[in-house]
Amino acid sequence: MIRICFYDTKPYDKIYFDELKEKYEIEIDYFESKLNHKTAVLAKGYEAAVAFVNDTIDSKTINILIENDLKLIAMRCAGYNNVDVKAAAGKIPVVRVPAYSPYAVAEHAFALLLTLNRKTHRAYVRTRDFNFSLNELVGFDLHGKTMGVVGTGKIGRVFADICKGFGMNILAYDPYPAKDFGVSYVTFDEICRQSDIISLHCPLTKETFHIINKDTISNMKNGVYIINTSRGALIDSEDLLNGIKDEKIGGACLDVYEEETELFYEDMSYKIIKDDILSRIISMPNVIVSSHQAFLTKEALYNIAETTLQNVNHYFKNNIIDNEISYKNSK
């Protein structure tokens, strides 16, 4: 049996990992704590550690894991901006789940858009209180509007296909345009100038950090909607807030937030939230925030468990590193 430890465990993770662990001859101990330099020592005695999007896998954490004889870090997610890949290079392999359900994320992004635009969240609350007024519930037709898709990888392409089904015009920006995808590629500047709605589906890198900021917002159409289901730090949150206050931005759908690590996935309803920017953003009537849940479908959770356990099993049984995050590719 291969022994692994599992950080930042939630009940919905356990269901699928427990279902599949015997098939891959893996024993799992679940920890509720996130992985960081303080909790890395818990990995002593295990062969691999399984981690997630809000774990802090910096050089300090990596060194402690190695000192404790850990052999593999298995990310149970696609994005890996929270891993210091350079610090791990040549010392410990880091693997990930490159794709588990682009549909889950793309459908959630579109669900947020439909909710915000047609104000179904408000209608639901109103009618439960027998308030049948329609005041302030006016939306707009998506048909004929222009959607700017930033990043046309697995998720961006599914999202663009959903938009096409709604009769929207699609503009796309990607430094590596897909040749077999029938959309018009333009510059990021054109996306800003021409789109009624902009949806972010690119990874967080040095190039994309704060790609939405006061300068790029100033180029956008008045009343633009911004959707972010990728990574919080693609957006400068303070600039977004100012854009909403100035009524330049007409609405925002946010599944991610740049300072989400200590907040998202936890019940903070009885806590004093110290983050004034997030509090103010959430208070806006034209903003919907979900708690990094775009991936949360049964199919995605099953695929995450299956690929993560396969990655671990292949490494220890066959010495094959599947789905490695290599420093060379991440630069």
Distance CA 164, CA 161 (A): 5
Integer angstrom CA distances of residue 320 from 72, 266, 272: 12, 36, 47
Is the CB of residue 7 less than 8 Å from the CB of residue 31?
yes
Choices 34-42, 121-129, 148-156, 271-279 (CB under 6 A): range interacting with ligand NAI: 148-156
User: First and final CA of the chain: distance in angstroms?
Assistant: 35
Choices 56-64, 65-73, 128-136, 229-237 (CB under 6 A): range interacting with ligand NAI: 229-237
Instruction: Report the nearest approach of ligand NAI to the CB of residue 314 (Å).
Output: 21
Is 121 among the residues known to form the active site?
A: no
| Per-residue x/- track, 31-50, ligand NAI (CB under 6 A) | --------------------
Is the CB of residue 92 less than 8 Å from the CB of residue 62?
yes
Count CA within 13 A, CB hemisphere, residue 286. 20
- Record the tokens describing residue 135, joined without a space: 């005041």
- Record the tokens describing residue 50, joined without a space: 């399984």
Residue 180 is which amino acid? D
Can you tell me which residue has the tokens 């929270």?
82
Instruction: Report the nearest approach of ligand NAI to the CB of residue 234 (Å).
Output: 8
Under rule CB under 6 A, residue 154 binds ligand NAI: yes
Under rule CB under 6 A, residue 255 binds ligand NAI: yes
Under rule CB under 6 A, residue 195 binds ligand NAI: no
In the window 58-77, what residues touch ligand NAI (CB under 6 A)? none
| Greatest Cα-to-Cα distance within the chain, rounded to the nearest angstrom | 64
Nearer to ligand NAI among residue 93 and residue 151 (C-beta): 151
Instruction: Report the nearest approach of ligand NAI to the CB of residue 193 (Å).
Output: 16
Is 259 among the residues known to form the active site?
A: no
Length, in residues, of the chain = 331
From 76, 201, 231, 258, active-site residue: 231
Is 25 among the residues known to form the active site?
A: no
Is the CB of residue 48 less than 8 Å from the CB of residue 308?
no
Q: Are strands 72-75 and 169-173 parallel, antiparallel or unpaired?
A: unpaired
Which of 7, 173, 257, 316: binder of ligand NAI (CB under 6 A)?
173
Nearer to ligand NAI among residue 203 and residue 223 (C-beta): 203
Q: Could you give the residue numbers annotated as active site?
A: 231, 260, 292
Site residues, ligand NAI (CB under 6 A): 78-79, 99, 102, 105, 150-156, 173-176, 201-205, 207-208, 229-231, 255-256, 292, 294-295
